[in-house]
Amino acid sequence: MAENTENRYDCAILNFWSSNNYGALLTCYALQESIKNLGFVPAVINYHCAWERFDGLLSDKFSQKYLTLTEPCADFWDLKRLNRKTKTFIAGSDQIWRYKYFWPRGKNIYQLSFASLAAKKIAYAASFGVDHWEGGYEHTLRTKYYMSRFDEISIREDDGVDICREVFDVKATQVLDPVFLPEPAAWNVLTDNSSCRDEGYVTSYVLDQSPDARALTEQVLEKTGTAKAINLVNAAKNDIEAGVEDWLYYIKNCRFFVTDSFHGVCFAIIFNKPFICLANMSRGYSRFKSLFKMFGLEDRCVFSFEEAEKRNFCLKDIDYDRVNKILSRERERSLKWLENALKAPKRERPFEETRFLETAEVMQQQINSLIKDNIFLREVIGLPKLERKYLRYKIKVWFSFGKKRRECKKIRRELKNKIRLIRRQMKA
């Protein structure tokens, strides 16, 4: 889809869609499509960190086909300009509020620090990833301030609701992950675009490979009498090339699904597949615990191969009639929450609270201006070094060939653009 660079939009969505992860992409896509179905015009904020690879990878290809993006945003000040295009911002979903994930990506950007005080701010199914807040004292105070500016907050996990109340003193509602919001048949839009036609296989999607995971897959093959396994790890490490459409296809059409992925479990539930989940503690067990508790599927999660073997999990059917009733009820409730949050006017605050927020906003703008001036000063001081580096790569282009020459040309072009930008700012 083309970037929405000229038109205004009803709301702008910020999440980790560009992280080159199947679940992150589908979470973003599902939220975008659900908001469209509610009658609004959304755009996904085209922000990703400079240190994250993007061009030509999974998220780049998927976004061009399925996401409506804003103009590219490289930093806080680019994001701030989006206030001209919309008056409503949505943070979510997935682990956008897990401290160790969001802080390196721009401090409180994922608490919508760039959104103006006049803009409406909504969090949909945000997740802390774990059952506790990981930030220190100073980071907690900063985050508490930005959380207080939200008009409506919903959280994906039940213990995340507790974190909001106990750490940040804000009220939150538990809702479903966005991938559950579309009806299951709606995912055919993507699976029908897959070129895969495999049949009669077990799918393994394990992010952190281990002897337990391999043993689990082998046992599933044996107990289900299946000869073939499709082993997926992630978009960068798969043995086979698998786009997002293929990833969904391999879950939807498998005989049994083995995973340690939160969104892998979500789609197993959506497609009513028999599955087993190997708990992934390092990636945040809280997410799994809350999900299994909601659907009464605690017995589908194990911590080791030995535990799975004792349970004879392959022989137990999942009562999907019961699960689907819960899902239908929770889907309706979550969509209603989202619709109400989008339609509601901006929350009115007491005079004293408004005055405090306005004062804090002015102080933060002054701090941001000082930071920007400091960054610009460092760039000006470093300009001669950049110019020398540019000349080196200009010479390298003359004396290099093939792939090496293309790489040198790309670096030379980036340096030239940066030098031009700094010189333009110096004249301004």
CATH number for position 129: 3.40.50.2000
Considering the domain architecture, whether residues 249 and 220 belong to the same structural domain is answered as yes
Whole-number pLDDT of residue 379: 63
Determine, yes or no, domain membership for 85: yes
Whole-number pLDDT of residue 52: 73
Q: Are 272 and 256 in contact (CB under 8 A)?
A: no
CA triple 10-11-14, angle to 5 deg: 165
Considering the domain architecture, whether residues 168 and 189 belong to the same structural domain is answered as no
Task: Domain count for the chain, please give it.
Answer: 3
pTM score, whole prediction: 0.83
Structural domain containing residue 203? 184-316
Whole-number pLDDT of residue 375: 60
Determine, yes or no, domain membership for 367: no
Name the residue with tokens 């559950």. Answer: 180
Q: How far apart are CA 27 and CA 16, in angstroms?
A: 9
Looking at 97-136, list the stretches that DSSP marks H as alpha helix, in order from N- to C-terminal side.
Answer: 99-102
Considering the domain architecture, whether residues 15 and 118 belong to the same structural domain is answered as yes
3-state DSSP assignment of residue 408: helix
Whole-number pLDDT of residue 428: 55
Considering the domain architecture, whether residues 23 and 97 belong to the same structural domain is answered as yes
Cis check: omega of the bond before 148, within 30 degrees of 0: no
Q: How far apart are CA 52 and CA 155, in angstroms?
A: 26
Mean pLDDT, 10 residues at a time, the chain of 428 residues: 69 92 95 98 90 80 95 90 96 93 90 94 96 92 93 96 96 98 96 91 90 90 90 66 92 95 96 92 84 93 86 80 98 98 89 71 66 61 83 88 88 84 68
